[in-house]
């Protein structure tokens, strides 16, 4: 199996203190789209209990998780295959990993997005993408621009031009406290 | 092919219909569904209220839905009561129907394994049974639907129905993979006692059907 990474090299992360793993069939969420929010809220509430300001942390974590889960479902190439959500509270950071099987067209979109992210000026990148009406990626850009999230994607090529994508979002815990 | 047609009446039957519709609509049109919200720009569609099943033994071969209120053509198609009244007057039946009592046949899906055998025509014909449209009551609702012209022609008209084109359906992102400039969408009205053949309107449900019957009748 061929694997590669999009985004900056992986950071050395502290050991997980609290963790949660969920698997849900993508088709369940296609049938009831609100389930994306239900999963996001559940993950967020589970992790937020460890924060001094749980309601603020929960709100941010729910927003971030919902973006990842909705993308994973929308771009899932096999809706019968489960979406895997892994949430890890590592003390200084929270790491979210969401996996799905993606078609080649989605990989091309991700490559373009990470090339834009690497340019650094996220406000300009965001504006350009809105003006160009570039489909997809705006939600992920907002996570990086507004929440200080570090984004990465692990790609593992499977059969028939399909790739297992694991989106990684690392959020500094200071971003999860109300300023 | 011998088939059973019936109304989905149990929670399990409704779920089976929803999963088949969701699987096909998501794969072909990237649509997702919700009971309590819709956003046609985000491709989130509202679920119908009632479902019709075509069964090959235990296998769900085809299904469609029915909006019993807040029809799609009213909410998104811009069809107003005056549009319906105008059509009723043109048909010479003004006053014979309540122009606000609409049902909408929608989300016509044939399982990929059963395509090319005339199931869509058979199902759409059977679904214009009074017992599906009016839920067993005495009321006589009008029927509306929105579809691209090729579907109105190759499915509805081919089933013997006589849909009346009301107005063009506005463009929404949710239909970007469905409609095209060559095959635009419209809203249609069906006046049951004028536009639905008795063999469909009086069909008792559940019922056993044969796809060969459609061919023999030339429908």
Supply the mean pLDDT for chain B.
Answer: 93
pLDDT, one tens digit per residue, over B163-203 is 999 999 999 999 999 999 999 999 999 999 999 999 999 99
Q: Is residue B212 scored above 70 in pLDDT? A: yes
Q: Is residue A99 scored above 70 in pLDDT? A: yes
The answer to whether A138 contacts chain B (CB < 8 Å) is no
The answer to whether A55 contacts chain B (CB < 8 Å) is no
Q: Is residue A118 scored above 90 in pLDDT? A: no
Residue B16: half-sphere exposure toward Cβ, Cα within 13 Å:
19
Which pLDDT does position B216 carry in this prediction? Answer: 47
Interface probe, candidates A26, A33, A80, chain B, greatest B C-beta count within 10 A = A33
- What does the alpha-carbon distance between residue A137 and residue A121 come to, in Å, rounded to a whole number? 15
* Cβ pair A32:B27 closer than 8 A: no
Compute the average pLDDT of residues B10-30. Answer: 97
pLDDT, one tens digit per residue, over A78-96 is 998 999 999 999 999 999 9
Helix then strand then coil, % of chain A, to nearest 5: 45, 30, 25
Chain B residues within 8 angstroms (CB to CB) of chain A? 18-19, 22-23, 26-27, 30, 32-37, 44
Interface probe, candidates B12, B32, B39, B44, chain A, greatest A C-beta count within 10 A = B32
* Cβ pair B34:A79 closer than 8 A: no
pTM of the model: 0.90
Which pLDDT does position B218 carry in this prediction? Answer: 44
Which pLDDT does position A144 carry in this prediction? Answer: 85
Compute the average pLDDT of residues A50-73. Answer: 93
Confidence band for A135, pLDDT divided at 50, 70 and 90: low
Which pLDDT does position A63 carry in this prediction? Answer: 92
pLDDT, one tens digit per residue, over B125-169 is 999 999 999 876 777 899 999 999 999 999 999 999 999 999 999
Supply the mean pLDDT for chain A.
Answer: 90
Q: Which CATH entry fits the domain spanning B2-212: 3.50.50.60, 3.30.365.10, 3.30.450.40, 3.40.630.30?
A: 3.40.630.30
Higher-confidence position of B124 and A127: B124
Which pLDDT does position B213 carry in this prediction? Answer: 62
* Cβ pair B19:A74 closer than 8 A: no
pLDDT, one tens digit per residue, over A14-40 is 999 999 999 999 999 999 999 999 999
Please check whether residue B105 is in contact with residue B163, taking contact to mean a CB–CB distance below 8 angstroms: no
Long-range CB pairs of B119-122, under 8 A, 24+ apart, other chains included: B119/B3, B119/B54, B119/B61, B119/B62, B119/B211, B120/B62, B120/B155, B121/B154, B121/B155, B121/B158, B121/B159, B121/B214, B121/B219, B122/B3, B122/B5, B122/B54, B122/B159, B122/B209, B122/B211, B122/B214
* Cβ pair A30:B36 closer than 8 A: no
Which pLDDT does position B214 carry in this prediction? Answer: 65
Q: Is residue B20 scored above 60 in pLDDT? A: yes
Domain assignments of chain B as residue spans, ordered by start:
2-212
Q: How many Å is the Cα radius of gyration of chain A? A: 16
Going along A103-174, which residue ranges are E strands?
150-157, 163-172
Which pLDDT does position B219 carry in this prediction? Answer: 46
B170 CA to centre of own chain: 19
């Amino acid at each position: 199996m061929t694997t590669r990474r999009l985004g900056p090299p992986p950071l050395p992360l502290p050991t997980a203190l609290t963790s949660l793993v969920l698997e849900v069939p993508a088709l369940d969420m296609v049938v009831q789209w609100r389930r994306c929010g239900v999963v996001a809220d559940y993950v967020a509430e589970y992790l937020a209990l460890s924060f001094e300001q749980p309601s603020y942390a929960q709100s941010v974590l729910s927003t971030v998780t919902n973006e990842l889960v909705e993308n994973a479902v929308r771009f899932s190439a096999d809706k019968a295959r489960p979406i895997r959500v892994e949430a890890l509270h590592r003390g200084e950071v929270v790491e979210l990993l969401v996996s799905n099987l993606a078609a080649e067209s989605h990989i091309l979109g991700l490559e373009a997005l990470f090339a834009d992210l690497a340019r650094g000026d996220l406000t300009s990148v965001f504006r350009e993408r809105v003006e160009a009406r570039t489909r997809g990626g705006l939600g992920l850009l907002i996570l990086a621009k507004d929440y200080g999230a570090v984004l990465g994607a692990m790609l593992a090529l499977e059969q028939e031009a399909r790739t297992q994508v694991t989106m990684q979002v690392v959020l500094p815990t200071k971003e999860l406290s109300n300023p | 092919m011998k088939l059973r047609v019936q109304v989905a009446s149990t929670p399990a039957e409704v779920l089976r219909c929803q999963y088949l519709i969701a699987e096909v609509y998501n794969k072909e049109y990237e649509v997702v569904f919700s009971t309590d919200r819709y956003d046609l720009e985000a491709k989130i569609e509202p679920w119908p209220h009632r479902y019709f099943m075509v069964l090959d033994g235990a296998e769900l071969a085809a299904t469609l839905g029915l909006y019993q209120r807040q029809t799609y053509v009213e909410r998104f198609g811009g069809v107003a009561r005056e549009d319906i009244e105008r059509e009723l007057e043109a048909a010479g039946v003004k006053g014979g129907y309540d122009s606000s009592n609409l049902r909408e046949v929608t989300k016509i899906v044939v399982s990929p394994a059963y395509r090319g055998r005339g199931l869509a025509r058979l199902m759409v014909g059977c679904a214009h049974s009074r017992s599906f449209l009016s839920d067993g009551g005495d009321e006589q609702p009008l029927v509306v639907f929105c579809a691209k012209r090729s579907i109105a022609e190759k499915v509805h008209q081919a089933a013997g129905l006589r849909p009346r084109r009301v107005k063009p359906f506005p463009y929404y992102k949710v239909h970007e993979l469905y409609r095209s400039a060559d095959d635009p969408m419209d809203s249609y009205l069906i006046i049951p006692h004028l536009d639905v053949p008795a063999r469909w309107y009086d069909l008792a449900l559940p019922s056993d059907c044969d796809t060969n019957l459609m061919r023999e009748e030339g429908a």
